[in-house]
A and B are shown apart, each in its own frame.
Chain A
Amino acid sequence: MNRIILLAILTYIILLAGIATLNGDVIGLALPLVLYLLAGLWRAPDELNLTAERSMSEDRISPGGIITITLVLKNHGAALEQVHLSDPLPKFLEVIEGSAERLVSIPAGGEFTWSYTVRGKRGSHTFKGVHVTASDLLGLMKKRALLSAPGQVLVLPGLVRVRHISILPRQTRVYSGNIPANQGGTGIDFFGVREYQIGDSPRHVNWRVSARQSNVLYSNEYQQERVADVGIVLDGRHGLNIFGHDLTIFEDSVRAAVAVSTSLLAEGNRVGLFVYGKRSKWTSPGYGKYQRERIMHALAQAETGEDQSFKSLTIPRRLFPPDSLIILISPLAGGDLALLGALRARGYQLLVISPDPVSFESRGLPQTRSVELAQRILRLQRETMLRELRHVGVHVVNWDVTIPFEQIAQSTLSRPAAWMHSTRRGVR
């Protein structure tokens, strides 16, 4: 109940009772209540004239990192004897030192500086403003305001280092890199033999072949090593990534995306990223450290979204021409087969890194007979789906997320898979 109204009602009752009984002592009881109301009016806050400024020790941190937020409030109006300040924290940020709430007095023309330290989970965390409630000391009169003090903290995903991811796309770019191209030239691995051309190094002359021919010399050709176009698609469909009790496999997918993109960019490839989630967004392909920063930024902001199907997923041809390699990181659903088949039909090479949702979810469930049965059925369904994908020429890595991604990458992605060689032989 409103405090002023309650006091007013009580005062009226006491005064009316005093008049009705013609008793001065009864009327006297109203005196403390009236004085209490007057005290509220005496030092009631005037119009709020405050400004707030926010500064942060860092604007981007790695997971587990801490950031100090400093707020400076300036009072351009009359003195405020009690001000409640509250800086609402974005979800997934927690205060580890200090407080995001204060109760202070600010003199006229004075300022108040306050700091606190937070840490948080991966994501882009936005601060909007400071809630201010000024009141008299007895809390009867209140004035509220929301002071604009915007700010953003980016908590980057954890860095996972994978030494080498071996890919053999059908098409490479003109720049030299680490990926064996489908062309002879300078390189390390033997590619073939061709007729000697002026300018060929004598060391490259294949004397054995040349000896069998009359008046013709032959030179060895080596496989050129180039860079490739790689598109990484991170699947952030809510239904596939989030399980009961807010368990999420999406963080594992993000870690895999970090590892894959970092490794491929380090080898000079042109890498782009598409996050299919809350805000589906392409990070256009690029090279080097700058592109790594862009991808890390996009991955920091990646959130799961409600879209349940891959229907709206299109690979822009101007960014990734057919024959490019597309790496899909997804727990996969049965309906995805059609889309992946269509991508293969359009000529894309596909590598699917699939965090296993069955083993992930079953870890959090009691091991009852029904759970085990359900687990077996789901595992069979998944195995069937993965087998069908392999049949259409998709390289699938089934990743049990209890095993670190580095280990999985080392055992399954560090050497080119047999299917890659067979595909390339077909092209030749």
Chain B
Amino acid sequence: MTRPVLLASILVCTSLLTITLGLNGYVLHAIAIALFGVVWLVLHSVGRMRFAWLVFFLFSLVSLLLTWLEVSRWVALTGILTALLAWDLTAFEEKLHGIPPEDTRPMESAHFTRLALVFGVGLAGIVASGFIQVNITFGLALTLALLSIWGVSALVYRLRNRG
């Protein structure tokens, strides 16, 4: 189950970003993204999974760019989610290598449940943010942003220390 979902997520992510960029006049960028997608698929098929992080990073930046250029919020969101899914499943598939099938199936279902939870909550948060509109001062926005950066740093620090 992991492999088809992984391949589908790479295809969806690549085609979505390529088409959106192409339709908005960024033809060269669209070709580059399509090439990266093909490279990701080829490297995956030959078992070179080490560079998945690089493509994930690039696709996330492209999604960010699409939001910034106000091309399409939902395409950008779908792009970052599918890129995250593909990157996560690449690592998961590597972990399943050499594991007997009787262990693979329960682990796959547990992994997909966890991913569904993360993506579901994330999507719900983003959808909710579209309905809630709060006007704040620049100072407060800056404080909140700095607080969020501090929060992420604390989270990463704890993760690194416990790992």
Q: Is the CB of A39 within 8 A of B155?
A: no
Q: Is the CB of A15 within 8 A of B100?
A: no
A6 to chain B: which residues have CB within 8 Å? 53, 56-57
B99 to chain A: which residues have CB within 8 Å? 99, 101-103
Q: What 1/0 mask marks residues of chain B from 88 to 122 whose CB sits below 8 Å from any chain A CB?
A: 10011001101110011011001100110111011
The answer, yes or no, to whether A25 is at the interface (CB within 8 Å) is: yes
Q: Assign chain A's interface to a size class.
A: 35 or more
Query: Main SS of the interface on chain B?
Result: helix
Stretch of A26-34, A263-271, A272-280, A410-418 with 4 or more beta carbons under 8 angstroms from chain B: A26-34
Q: Is the CB of A29 within 8 A of B80?
A: yes
In the complex, the chain A residue whose C-beta lies closest to that of B115 is A138
B163 to chain A: which residues have CB within 8 Å? 4, 44, 140-143
Q: What 1/0 mask marks residues of chain B from 114 to 154 whose CB sits below 8 Å from any chain A CB?
A: 11011101110110010000000010011001001100110
A40 to chain B: which residues have CB within 8 Å? 159
The answer, yes or no, to whether B6 is at the interface (CB within 8 Å) is: no
Query: Main SS of the interface on chain A?
Result: helix
Q: Is the CB of A33 within 8 A of B91?
A: no
Stretch of A16-24, A217-225, A385-393 with 4 or more beta carbons under 8 angstroms from chain B: A16-24
A33 to chain B: which residues have CB within 8 Å? 80, 84
Q: What 1/0 mask marks residues of chain A from 129 to 152 whose CB sits below 8 Å from any chain B CB?
A: 000000001111111000000000
For the complex, what is the distance from the CA of A37 to the CA of B160, rounded to whole Å?
Answer: 11
B152 to chain A: which residues have CB within 8 Å? 8, 11-12, 15, 34, 37
In the complex, the chain A residue whose C-beta lies closest to that of B124 is A31
A19 to chain B: which residues have CB within 8 Å? 141-142, 145
For the complex, what is the distance from the CA of A82 to the CA of B91, rounded to whole Å?
Answer: 14
For the complex, what is the distance from the CA of A36 to the CA of B119, rounded to whole Å?
Answer: 8
B107 to chain A: which residues have CB within 8 Å? 82, 103-105
B64 to chain A: which residues have CB within 8 Å? 13-14, 17, 26, 29
The answer, yes or no, to whether B9 is at the interface (CB within 8 Å) is: no
The answer, yes or no, to whether A41 is at the interface (CB within 8 Å) is: yes
The answer, yes or no, to whether B14 is at the interface (CB within 8 Å) is: no
A22 to chain B: which residues have CB within 8 Å? 138, 141
Q: Is the CB of A35 within 8 A of B100?
A: no
In the complex, the chain A residue whose C-beta lies closest to that of B54 is A1
The answer, yes or no, to whether A204 is at the interface (CB within 8 Å) is: no
Q: Is the CB of A41 within 8 A of B155?
A: yes
For the complex, what is the distance from the CA of A84 to the CA of B60, rounded to whole Å?
Answer: 30
The answer, yes or no, to whether B26 is at the interface (CB within 8 Å) is: no
A37-B156 in contact given A25-B67, A141-B163 (Cβ < 8 Å) = yes
Q: Is the CB of B148 within 8 A of A15?
A: yes
For the complex, what is the distance from the CA of A29 to the CA of B53, rounded to whole Å?
Answer: 18
In the complex, the chain B residue whose C-beta lies closest to that of A39 is B118
The answer, yes or no, to whether A109 is at the interface (CB within 8 Å) is: no
The answer, yes or no, to whether A98 is at the interface (CB within 8 Å) is: yes
For the complex, what is the distance from the CA of A29 to the CA of B126, rounded to whole Å?
Answer: 8
For the complex, what is the distance from the CA of A16 to the CA of B152, rounded to whole Å?
Answer: 12
B111 to chain A: which residues have CB within 8 Å? 137-138
Q: Is the CB of A29 within 8 A of B63?
A: yes
A23 to chain B: which residues have CB within 8 Å? 67-68
A13-B61 in contact given A32-B80, A141-B163 (Cβ < 8 Å) = yes
The answer, yes or no, to whether B76 is at the interface (CB within 8 Å) is: yes
B92 to chain A: which residues have CB within 8 Å? 139
Q: Is the CB of B119 within 8 A of A12?
A: no
Q: Is the CB of A37 within 8 A of B100?
A: no
B3 to chain A: which residues have CB within 8 Å? none
One of A34, A81, A102, A139 near B155 (C-beta < 8 A): A34
The answer, yes or no, to whether A3 is at the interface (CB within 8 Å) is: yes
Q: Is the CB of A12 within 8 A of B159?
A: no
A38 to chain B: which residues have CB within 8 Å? 155
For the complex, what is the distance from the CA of A141 to the CA of B163, rounded to whole Å?
Answer: 5
A8-B145 in contact given A25-B73, A137-B110, A138-B88 (Cβ < 8 Å) = no
In the complex, the chain B residue whose C-beta lies closest to that of A32 is B122
For the complex, what is the distance from the CA of A12 to the CA of B142, rounded to whole Å?
Answer: 14
Residues of A269-325 contacting chain B, CB below 8 A = none
Q: Chain B: residues with CB nearer than 8 A to chain A?
A: 53, 56-57, 60-61, 63-64, 67-68, 73, 76-77, 80-81, 84, 88, 91-92, 95-96, 98-100, 103-104, 106-107, 110-111, 114-115, 117-119, 121-123, 125-126, 129, 138, 141-142, 145, 148-149, 152-153, 155-156, 158-160, 162-163
Beyond contacts A25-B76, A28-B126, A101-B99: 13 other A-B pairs, Cβ-Cβ < 8 A, are: A4-B156, A28-B77, A28-B125, A30-B148, A34-B152, A36-B122, A37-B155, A44-B159, A98-B100, A137-B111, A139-B91, A139-B95, A141-B162
- 11 residue pairs of the A-B complex, CB under 8 angstroms, read A4-B163, A14-B64, A28-B129, A29-B80, A35-B122, A36-B118, A99-B98, A99-B100, A103-B99, A138-B118, A140-B163
A-B residue pairs, 3 tightest by C-beta: A32-B122, A99-B100, A19-B145
